[in-house]
């Protein structure tokens, strides 16, 4: 049985502190909701990769990847390593992202509404919400 130690709390606290500092440092660039959600549609490739990594690689992913690596060795850390490689490939190639950006939509359900209608948009929204649970 594992326990949440002071070291664990320090790691979580450090992650939250760095995230807050980054948010406060760039808040002057966010004036509208579109700037917050879409970065004004002006994000370069490197910032896009960093944003994808920050979105997909949170503290939970970091901790379970580290724990798997500790418990199972290199094989246990492979999901985290593969996740990082795929984020880099998606970011550098624009796979699926470029089509979404060129369509001018804000969300994937909005893209589905344009292509397949409001029922599919609603269903995709439900899937996204249920996937977050």
> pLDDT tens digits for 88-127?
888 778 777 777 777 888 778 888 899 899 999 999 889 8
Q: What is the pLDDT of residue 107?
A: 79
> pLDDT tens digits for 16-47?
999 899 888 888 877 777 776 666 666 777 77
Query: Rounded to whole angstroms, how far apart are CA atoms 19 and 23?
Result: 6
Asked if 72 and 80 count as a contact pair (C-beta separation under 8 A), the reply is no
How many percent of the chain have pLDDT more than 90? Answer: 15
pTM of the shown model: 0.51
Element (H, E) at 82: helix 74-93
> pLDDT tens digits for 70-98?
899 888 888 888 888 888 888 778 777 77
Query: Rounded to whole angstroms, how far apart are CA atoms 43 and 100?
Result: 14
């Amino acid at each position: 049985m594992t326990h949440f130690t002071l070291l664990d709390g320090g790691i979580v606290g450090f992650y939250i502190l760095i995230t807050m500092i980054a948010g406060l440092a760039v808040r002057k660039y966010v004036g509208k909701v579109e700037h917050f959600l879409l970065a004004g549609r002006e994000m370069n490739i490197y910032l896009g990769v960093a944003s994808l990594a920050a979105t997909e690689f949170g503290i939970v992913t970091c901790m379970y990847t580290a724990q798997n690596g500790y418990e199972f060795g290199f094989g246990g850390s492979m999901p985290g390593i593969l996740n990082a490689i795929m984020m880099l490939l998606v970011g550098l190639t624009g796979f699926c992202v470029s089509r979404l950006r060129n369509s001018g939509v804000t969300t994937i359900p909005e893209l589905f509404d344009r292509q397949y209608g409001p029922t599919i948009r609603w269903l995709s929204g439900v899937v996204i919400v249920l996937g977050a649970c």
